[in-house]
Chain A
Amino acid sequence: MAQQPAPPADAHAWASFEAEALPHVDGLFRLALWFERNRDEAEDLVQETMMQALQSFHRFKPGTNCRAWLVTILQHIRSNRRRARLRSPIVDDPNDRFANTIPFVAPVPETLTDEDVLSALSRIPVQFQEVIVLCDVEELTYKEIADALAIPLGTVMSRLHRGRASLRSELRPSTAALGARRTET
């Protein structure tokens, strides 16, 4: 009699993981690539994230947000790698640097092109990018973002606030255009 290729428990665990976690790989990769700016690094990061997720999938609570759970693992790995690279934790908090440098909230242009938005987003501090992308693109709750980034809820809110103000400032059409016009005249 032919043997089953895997025990039923295996098959069921894989089916659950496949249904719950795999649909998020695409989004997870986009997130990783955005932050790492390096395709090889992003692939490696996603590979490790998914392997860890598979091994600890028994800890995932069905009915909760699997995407947030995966993002938390990914951020944890990123953070560890970054620490290992720099041999010290990242302590630079843009809240401090930017606290007094955004005096007003710039208007949002009526028409936003994808290129303008991504370009502006890439110019703001990475800690701001993280919360904005996790909130606006991944649609994680503030609590899920706080868990994923291992920062207090209040920090999530303040980074979002300052990050959005910073993004609006970067999107202001006048800065470059006025400069160019001044040069021309």
Chain B
Amino acid sequence: MECRDVREMGDSFLAEELLTETNHEILRHLETCPMCRDELAARRRLRDGVRRAFQHASDLDPRPEFMAQLRASLQHESHHVPARRGIRFHAWWVVAATVLLALALGLAYRGRDWISATATLARAAVGDHRNCALQFRLAEQPISLEEAAQRYGAPYRVLEKLPPSDVTTAVGPAHVIERHSCVYGGRRFAHIVFEYRGERVSLLVTAAEGSSQLALPGEALPHVTSAGRIDGMTVVSFRASGQMVFFAGDVAQPDLMTLARAVAEPLYRELAGV
């Protein structure tokens, strides 16, 4: 591979859009070509700069009132969605809707808080994954889950045995290589590190304050959802009683969902029972 090829494919390389073989060819070239290394570093700096600037731009923040109102409108509208398939619109719905809307508006501020809170938790989980599982540079020494259970409560005890050390999934095995409790960004996590699909993947459990309004009483199965990519890591999560459970790692989203679903059900049941 020549410099010209690397320059042409550099953006796709950084966006992880190339085949593994091509990535390897580029990496081999970069080992011996400082100019291309500098060029790709500059491109990465620019990409990171755009992302950072965009995320830091406070003038792009939505108004809390708008977020609250939107959430209320959506929740109200959700009751109408199935009805629209077969039932005619009735005028009394307007009255009911108005009442519901008024009630929902009162709760909506809390909803906006929840959205931000979940996103913040997900970022913290990714930060812990990076700093603990990948780079070993935590400010505070991790402690055992047993010690964490004694100090901070029963959920940590659940994580001593769940998930099991070896998990079989449809796309390959996952093996637990570490279990402990650690702190990142002032937040305590139960942290389980898997070896999965050739990467380190973290399962992180942390208390989810204020999540009670979103609990789904009677739901027997966890609802595993994707949070997309955060800071270069794929993240999926589900809620279990008062805990948020995150999976984070540099693996494909479907693979991470597969792992999460493979371990979610017993974990969800046990965490709900504590």
List the one stretch of B26-34, B76-84, B148-156, B169-177 in contact with chain A.
B76-84
- Kindly list chain B residues whose C-beta atoms are within 8 Å of the C-beta of A149: none
Decide: B17 and A142 in contact? CB cutoff 8 A.
yes
Which chain B residue shows the least CB distance to A115?
Answer: B53
Decide: A19 and B78 in contact? CB cutoff 8 A.
no
Tell me the complex Cα distance, A7–B81, Å: 12
Decide: A6 and B60 in contact? CB cutoff 8 A.
no
A10 touches which of B67, B79, B115 (Cβ 8 Å): B79
Which chain B residue shows the least CB distance to A39?
Answer: B63
Decide: B70 and A34 in contact? CB cutoff 8 A.
no
Decide: A112 and B46 in contact? CB cutoff 8 A.
yes
- Kindly list chain B residues whose C-beta atoms are within 8 Å of the C-beta of A10: 78-79, 81-82
A77 interface residue (CB < 8 Å to B): no
Decide: A50 and B50 in contact? CB cutoff 8 A.
no
A15 interface residue (CB < 8 Å to B): yes
- Kindly list chain B residues whose C-beta atoms are within 8 Å of the C-beta of A184: none
- Kindly list chain B residues whose C-beta atoms are within 8 Å of the C-beta of A50: 70, 74
B81 touches which of A24, A39, A55, A62 (Cβ 8 Å): A55
> Known interface pairs A9-B82, A22-B115, A54-B81. Does A30 touch B61 (Cβ–Cβ under 8 Å)?
yes
A98 interface residue (CB < 8 Å to B): no
Decide: B115 and A26 in contact? CB cutoff 8 A.
yes
- Min Cβ gap B24→A in Å is 20
B98 interface residue (CB < 8 Å to A): no
A108 touches which of B45, B116, B228, B254 (Cβ 8 Å): B45
Interface centre among A18, A118, A135 (most CB of B within 10 A): A18
List the one stretch of A79-87, A89-97, A157-165 in contact with chain B.
A157-165
Which chain B residue shows the least CB distance to A119?
Answer: B53
Decide: B228 and A24 in contact? CB cutoff 8 A.
yes
Tell me the complex Cα distance, A95–B193, Å: 46
Decide: A54 and B228 in contact? CB cutoff 8 A.
no
- Min Cβ gap B151→A in Å is 30
- Kindly list chain A residues whose C-beta atoms are within 8 Å of the C-beta of B63: 39, 43
Contact residues of B between 48 and 71, Cβ < 8 Å to A: 49-57, 60-63, 66-67, 70-71
* Chain B proximity mask over A2-23: 1 for CB below 8 Å, otherwise 0: 0000110111111111111011
Decide: A26 and B50 in contact? CB cutoff 8 A.
no
Tell me the complex Cα distance, A163–B146, Å: 53
> Known interface pairs A10-B79, A23-B119, A66-B226. Does A117 touch B53 (Cβ–Cβ under 8 Å)?
yes
B94 interface residue (CB < 8 Å to A): no
Decide: B56 and A157 in contact? CB cutoff 8 A.
no
* Chain B proximity mask over A47-65: 1 for CB below 8 Å, otherwise 0: 1001100110100001111
A118 touches which of B57, B84, B216 (Cβ 8 Å): B57
- Min Cβ gap A33→B in Å is 5
- Kindly list chain A residues whose C-beta atoms are within 8 Å of the C-beta of B228: 24, 65-67, 139
A34 touches which of B11, B54, B67, B74 (Cβ 8 Å): B54
- Min Cβ gap A108→B in Å is 4
A73 interface residue (CB < 8 Å to B): no
Contact residues of A between 66 and 81, Cβ < 8 Å to B: 66-67
- Min Cβ gap B33→A in Å is 16
Decide: B55 and A117 in contact? CB cutoff 8 A.
no
- Min Cβ gap A137→B in Å is 5
B180 interface residue (CB < 8 Å to A): no
A43 touches which of B12, B51, B66 (Cβ 8 Å): B66
Decide: B115 and A157 in contact? CB cutoff 8 A.
no
B227 interface residue (CB < 8 Å to A): yes
Q: B residues near A, CB below 8 A?
A: 11-12, 15, 17, 42-43, 45-47, 49-57, 60-63, 66-67, 70-71, 73-75, 77-79, 81-82, 84, 111, 115-116, 118-119, 122, 214, 216, 219, 223, 225-229, 239, 253-254, 257
4 more A-B residue pairs beyond the given contacts A10-B79, A34-B60, with a C-beta to C-beta distance below 8 A: A22-B111, A66-B226, A157-B11, A167-B50
Give the 3 A-B residue pairs with the shortest CB-CB distance, closest first. Answer: A114-B53, A112-B49, A108-B42
